[in-house]
Structure 1
């Protein structure tokens, strides 16, 4: 899973409704080639870049490639998670934002890390600046120009998804109202997405419950035993008196 964690991959802002379109086409049973064509047509009359830039075939292709990789043609190790996410979405369309969040985070861990740094800052202050987030990302990815540019696309995506909102100061953002999530099975899928977004593919349960990458969501408290009963792709390991470690099972790690 190393290559997936090292690349950034997101070269344009990804709107929530575009994610929905890709998932709906997949739910309709269309094949990959047809879905790709449908997505190009869907985006052809929409501006997929920032408002100040003209749309081009290249920018549209970037977005279509992202959507295909997230929902339609994921890496092999992500297919079981994609399938479970799709089935949950089929049964619970009102929980779409959390499902899309988890899938894009697993496919593009850069999204997960931008969210993690954003959540950390919002836990300390009411507002966060673009530069604060980018500076923290550079500590992880290095001082590359691509980090700054692509982080802006992800942050802009957060705004279009409604989980961040612009303040009166340009480049400064405020947290939106929490997206309530009281469905345990969905929370377990989100834990799985975090494990897939983490190179070590493991994490302490307590940290997952309070992971800043899930800053838009309110996750329910649950035990390791409960998770073990509900997921065949997550292994629960106990250590110490009360500590619980979650890790991906060997067959998908």
Structure 2
């Protein structure tokens, strides 16, 4: 994991409309006053609002330098193609920005792959193994799962004890498909097998229906490289 990347940072519940408002600001479709008004309407306390803004700043408003171009391309997609689900763009940016968010998504995706649901306790156990039994890990994992529920990816049932994977959002746009794949590669911090792209756990809320080998080969930001006689990997250019 890149040392400049915070291990934990997505420590607040983020409603989809808050993340979408931050995306609108980056795309030039709204101003900071609109985002602040939305947070004010949520009646967050001063400290909660400050911490929420910190998450949104890192997500869209003030991304890390190595993610600035990635964020700009996501915002451009949103500006030019308003029919693209905003949840896909916010999910991709979260995965690329916050490894903790991505790890929760990966575990939920893996654990719910067969029966479309999993126990929250199992997600917490896996996160503790990955991040240690440190203070805040359980709380932040809950924040991420709650946010993913707001974004239409999962539903929490049995008083939060189980997580149900909801029907995936179909993505049939080449540009968005390539951008989401790039988000997954950035999250992985290493090349990803081309054959695995169709079922990447970290992208479980989305059904990528385009021919992925073709989409990757046409991307200016992704590259296909060979590993051995038959394996192909997708890497950043």
Normalised to the residue count of structure 2, the TM-score between the two structures is 0.91
Q: State how far apart, in whole Å, the 2-side matches of 1:239 and 1:7 are.
A: 29
Q: Which residue of 1 aligns with 2:111?
A: 121
Q: Which runs of no fewer than 5 residues in structure 1 stay unpaired?
A: 48-54
The reply on whether 1:141 has 2:131 as its aligned counterpart is yes
Counterpart contact for 1:105–1:194, Cα < 8 Å = yes
Residue among 84, 89, 101 paired with 2:91: 101
Count of residues paired in the alignment: 236
Equivalent residue, structure 2, for 1:50: none
CA distance in 2, matches of 1:20, 1:223: 27
**Residue 39 of structure 1: aligned partner:** 35
Deviation (angstroms), 1:91: 2.0
1:63 to 52, 59, 67: 52
Kindly report which structure 2 residues correspond to 1:89-238, keeping only aligned pairs within 5 A, or say none: 89-95=78-84, 96-200=86-190, 202-224=191-213, 226-229=215-218, 231-238=219-226
Distance 1:110 1:7 in 2: 6
Partner of 2:23: 23
Deviates more, 1:191-200 or 1:12-21: 191-200
CA offsets 1:11-59 (integer angstroms, 9 cap, x no match): 11111100111111222267xxx62x54333202204xxxxxxx32111
What corresponds to 2:233 in structure 1? 245
SS at the partner of 1:145? coil
Distance in 2 (alpha carbons) for counterparts of 1:158 and 1:223: 25
What's the RMSD between the two structures over aligned residues?
Answer: 2.0
Task: Label 1:29 to 1:178 Cα distance change in 2 as closer, same or farther (>3 A).
Answer: closer
Q: Secondary structure at the match of 1:228?
A: helix
- For residues 170 and 97 of structure 1, the distance between their equivalents in structure 2, rounded to whole angstroms, comes to 22
Task: State the shift of 1:224 in Å.
Answer: 3.6
Hey, what does 2:8 align to over in structure 1? Answer: 8
Aligned equivalents of 2:78, 2:102: Cα separation in 1: 20
Cα deviation for residue 157 of structure 1 reads 0.6
* SS in structure 2 of the partner of residue 236 of structure 1: strand
Equivalent-residue separation in structure 1 for 2:215 and 2:36 (angstroms): 42
Query: Would you say the 8 A contact 1:117–1:212 is kept in 2?
Result: yes
Tell me how far apart the structure 2 counterparts of residues 100 and 119 of structure 1 sit (CA, whole Å).
Answer: 17
After superposition, what is the alpha-carbon deviation per residue over 1:179-225, rounded to whole angstroms, capped at 9, x for unaligned?
1111122111011101111233x211122321011111101253545
Matches of 2:124 and 2:10 in 1, distance apart?
15
Aligned match of 1:51: none
